[in-house]
Amino acid sequence: MIEKEYLASRVAAANEAQLVAIVYEGLIDTLNECISNIDKKESIDDLIDKCRDILAELISTLKGDSEVPNRYRSLYLYINNIITEGYIMKDKSKFEEAIKVITPLYEGWNELGQKMYIDNIQKNKAPKLVAGMTYSKGYVNESVMNNQDRWEKG
């Protein structure tokens, strides 16, 4: 349950590029689970479905018919083929190969997300207004911090 709450807070605070990186991270984690389950001789049926769902979601977000979306689409279909082969043959090397293909994409989107985050801070796109409440015996004080870095009664 804690992992779901942590993921929800990450998603809520993420920019567009960080969201894509989170999806790639989920795919890599699921592929690693496939490898682990193959080693333990456990079923990977549900994990394969999860991988395919993630790939389908990534494909559905591609818009247009230009070179970039077409290359991403081809890459996602290639990854799907690799994991299908790995599933059929129970070959963990196929899942490792898929991870090798996805990892540079993850790293690129993660780096872009961090750069966008830093750019937003530098452009002062942080919240302009912060509000809070303090509790004292018998009453509540409400305060607001405006853009001039000083607290005012709310």
- Per-residue pLDDT at 12: 85
47 and 72 belong to one structural domain: yes
Give the structural domain span for 73. 2-123
Query: What is the predicted pLDDT for the residue at 104?
Result: 96
Query: Considering the entire predicted model, what is its pTM?
Result: 0.76
User: Under DSSP, is residue 66 helix (H, G, I), strand (E, B) or coil?
Assistant: coil
* Shared-domain flag, residues 43 and 76: yes
Are 116 and 136 members of one domain?
no
Alpha helices in the chain (DSSP H): 2-13, 16-39, 45-60, 67-89, 92-122
Q: In terms of pLDDT, which residue wins out, 40 or 145?
A: 40
Distance in angstroms (rounded) separating the CA atoms of residues 6 and 17: 18
Taking the C-alpha atoms of residue 126 and residue 140, their distance in angstroms, rounded to an integer, is 27
Length of the chain: 154
Are both 86 and 144 inside the same structural domain?
A: no
Are residues 72 and 93 both part of a single domain?
yes
Query: 71 with 134, same domain?
Result: no
Residues 105, 29 within the same domain: yes
Q: pLDDT, tens digit, for every residue of 91-149?
A: 999 999 999 999 999 999 999 999 998 887 777 655 554 445 555 555 555 555 555 55
Cβ pair 142, 154 in contact under 8 A: yes
Whether 104 and 44 map to the same domain: the answer is yes
Residues 6+ apart with CB under 8 A from 24: 102, 105, 106, 109, 110
- Check the CA dihedral 46-49-55-56 and report its sign: negative
Which residue reads 């984690």 in tokens? 29
Q: Tell me, what's the pLDDT at 151?
A: 46
Tokens standing for residue 64: 């247009």
Which two tokens mark 125? 């796109």
Residues 113 and 142 in one domain: no
Is the same domain home to 93 and 132? no
**pLDDT digit string (tens) for 42-54?**
999 999 999 999 9
Number of domains in the chain: 2
73 and 96 co-located in one domain? yes
Mean pLDDT of 74-80: 97
Residue with the two structure tokens 């207004």? 129
The confidence band for 11, taking pLDDT boundaries of 50, 70 and 90, is: confident
Residue 23 belongs to domain with CATH number: 1.20.120.340
Rounded CA gap, 130 and 125, in Å?
Answer: 13
**pLDDT value at position 74?**
96
Residues 12 and 65 in one domain: yes
